[in-house]
Amino acid sequence: MLSTIFFLNPWLVAVGLNTILFAIAWIVPKKLLTPAGLLNGWLLGVLIWGTLRWQGYAVVIFYFLVGSALTRIGMAQKEAQGIAEKRSGARGPENVWGSALTGAICALGVGIGDWGLVMGDESFLPSLRFLLLLGYVASFSTKLSDTSASEVGKAYGKRTFLITTLQPATRGTEGAVSLEGTLAGMVGSAAIAFVGWGVGLVNLIGIGWCVVAAFVATNLESLIGATLQSQFDWMTNEVVNIINTASGAILAVSLALAWSWLVSLL
């Protein structure tokens, strides 16, 4: 009886699964997360599984594993140049929420709607759910695009330009872009969008919205890095990441709404 209740309750599954993964991550020698990062990752994992089940969990796990692998590309070279991620790429709580806050909000919105706590026109709820799921996938698609572009660009970018002036810049400069990094970003965004489609969170056209939104938001992030980030002490990389993922989610949702409006006119 207890085992039946456990497997029928997604929150109990979420707690059990993430506790097991927490224990494994704690004892493995190669740390992908700091101790505080592990705890916050546990909270995020419980929230995602509890609201979006395994489908949403697959997206965030895909981002985490691929993003962590990309961070370690050319690590020795990037550390020697002083442009590597701190702690050799191990994620802390600020990294967890900088990358996933937007997605977590979208997931929570889906959960609230599924619990029947949203008041209003019930006929609109399926559309709202679709938009929140699209925003969820787009946020991680945008973040993986940013991570791919940054890490691949720092490791393999042959010619790097400042996005504001297109003047040559050294690798790792805030706001610098490269062809290699840009292409890697597009591949990364498409990859995670296809994962979202594969698990049923978005439809095929949603893949397109995610890729377009990720491309625009990633370049917007570079523009912010080149112009505003150095002017404000509070605008840390994590704050910029939140702006980045929120921009990607909002843009993808806006594109979907605009498309629906255009289709309704035809």
Asked whether the beta carbons of 106 and 132 are under 8 A apart, the reply is yes
Q: Considering only 20-29, 87-96, 208-217, which range has the smallest mean pLDDT?
A: 87-96
- Sequence ranges of the domains in the chain: 2-265
pLDDT tens sequence across 26-61: 887 666 788 888 999 999 999 999 999 999 999 999
Q: Which residue has the higher pLDDT, 22 or 115?
A: 22
Q: What is the CA radius of gyration of the chain?
A: 19
pLDDT of amino acid 125: 47
What DSSP string describes 135-199? HHHHHHHHHHHHHHHHHHHHHH-SSEEETTT--B--TT-TTEEEHHHHHHHHHHHHHHHHHHHHT
Cβ neighbours, 10 Å, residue 53: 14
Out of 6-10, 136-140, 179-183, 210-214, pick the least confident. Answer: 6-10
